[in-house]
Homo-oligomer: A and B are copies of this chain.
Amino acid sequence: SLKGYARSGNSGATMKVSGRIHADLWGYPDPSPGVNGFETGDNNDPPAARLGFRRIRFGVAGDLWKNTLYKVEMEFAGGNDVEFRDVYLGLTELPILRTLLIGNQKRPYGLDHLNSSRYNVFIERPFVVEAFNQDARRFGICSYGVSEDEAYNWRYGVFNQRLIQDEGNYISNHWQCQIAGRLANTIWYDECSDGRGYAHVAVSGTWADTAGDQNTENYADSGINEARFRTRPEARTVSRWLDTGVIDGADDYSLLGLENVINVGAVQFCGEYEQVWLQRDAASELQFHGGYFYVSYFLTGEHMPWDRETGCLGRVVPFENFFLVDTCCDGVRGGWGAWQIAARYSRLDLADNDIQGGIGDSFTFGMNWYWNPYANVQFNYIYGNIYDNSLNAAGGIDDGDYHVLGLRFRCDF
């Protein structure tokens, strides 16, 4: 026994203690009256600036014996309102099912949701990815696999649709299940440059059975009809400006998503598109859709690494870490870290038929300064425009535009 070192609870367990801190500063200069209404319900009361924590997480993960794994990660940024994130146990090396996880885990659609918030290029995720997979994680059972040559990877499973990370349990007599999956192919990976060049395509989808007859909250906030799509303006606000509301009489919906990433050295191109078809009891089908495209570029020449096992972004490693030291004899010496710029165009259409939940267009300019592989600073400027949004309008103004400035300090350990 090594004195002064922390052990895992069982001798048969391996353990990693990990976490992240994301500290934010947000400002909303010059919003239009319609946008004031989306946020505060009052056309004269603008969105408030915000500072504080976006994520304060830590937790433990590891293996039990050879083929069982576990993970618990808590989110403490809400102060009194703690939530859990990844919480699961699972088996590995199974035939056919490969790795099988049981518990709270990300639903397998929307690349930018599957990308860790530690590695996202922009501060907040795009409209469509948040709207169609709000907060991503659900209680379910999901299989994860990868082909031997790492060209293909896939995940598929059954999930309950209720977000329970703040409640702990789903309590209802309507199961509200969904099946979901994603198949990804790394169609090109330049081994010689250790992955500075690659291309990825993926297709994902879900079929979700919603409780069309339950449009009000049941016991413990569980059991309500989960047919609702909504999102914030790719920035932290109090309200979700694009929001269909709970869709009355929604029986089920289907989603199809397409992903594409091309990376050539310091440059990355990435795009996604998702479409939802929703069936209603006594009214016509609804269709919602959206997508985004971004290009990013490292001024300092690094690249965005790719994880071929999961089909997701990896951790950026600067060529030279950032430091500034006052040496006794040589004056101040330093390293620059890595610098990246990026631009994103994003669109979401939640307005169809009688459900006018808004159409949003958003342009984001981003700049990231990576101090070292574990800490960085993100700056975003966003200009957006929303219309056809009568469901969330105040004072009859269903459109508006806005500017956002966002700054994030981000580290993980």
- B17 near A53 with CB under 8 A, answer no
Interface mask (A10-54 → B, CB under 8 Å = 1, otherwise 0): 111111111101011000000000000000000000101111110
- B371 near A91 with CB under 8 A, answer yes
Known: A6-B7, A12-B372, A321-B65. A58 touches B60 (CB 8 A): yes
Q: CA of A16 to CA of B83 in the docked complex: distance in angstroms? A: 23
- B12 near A374 with CB under 8 A, answer yes
Size bracket, chain A contacts: 35 or more
- B412 near A9 with CB under 8 A, answer yes
Q: Contacting A9 at CB < 8 Å: which of B48, B95, B165, B413?
A: B413
Q: Contacting A80 at CB < 8 Å: which of B9, B166, B175, B372?
A: B166
Task: Specify which chain B residues have a CB less than 8 angstroms from the CB of A70 in the assembled complex.
Answer: 21, 375, 411, 413
**This chain: how many copies in the complex?**
3
Q: CA of A238 to CA of B12 in the docked complex: distance in angstroms? A: 36
Q: Is A332 an interface residue (CB 8 A)?
A: yes
Q: Is A167 an interface residue (CB 8 A)?
A: yes
- A51 near B324 with CB under 8 A, answer no
Interface residues of A in 323-371 (CB under 8 A from B): 323-326, 332, 371
- A48 near B7 with CB under 8 A, answer no
- A223 near B48 with CB under 8 A, answer yes
Task: Specify which chain B residues have a CB less than 8 angstroms from the CB of A62 in the assembled complex.
Answer: 413
Q: CA of A219 to CA of B19 in the docked complex: distance in angstroms? A: 29
- B49 near A172 with CB under 8 A, answer yes
Known: A10-B412, A19-B60. A372 touches B5 (CB 8 A): no
Q: Is A87 an interface residue (CB 8 A)?
A: yes
Q: Is A187 an interface residue (CB 8 A)?
A: no
Interface residues of A in 240-273 (CB under 8 A from B): none
Question: In angstroms, how far is the closest chain B Cβ from the Cβ of A310?
Answer: 17
Task: Specify which chain B residues have a CB less than 8 angstroms from the CB of A84 in the assembled complex.
Answer: 53, 56, 76, 79
Q: CA of A412 to CA of B65 in the docked complex: distance in angstroms? A: 11
Task: Specify which chain B residues have a CB less than 8 angstroms from the CB of A48 in the assembled complex.
Answer: 171-173, 218-219, 222-223
Q: Is A220 an interface residue (CB 8 A)?
A: yes
- B168 near A79 with CB under 8 A, answer yes
Question: In angstroms, how far is the closest chain B Cβ from the Cβ of A237?
Answer: 9
A sample of 22 inter-chain contacts (CB < 8 A) reads: A3-B14, A7-B14, A7-B16, A9-B16, A9-B19, A17-B17, A19-B60, A23-B102, A48-B222, A49-B175, A52-B167, A53-B84, A53-B103, A53-B104, A58-B59, A64-B411, A65-B372, A70-B413, A79-B84, A79-B164, A80-B81, A95-B332
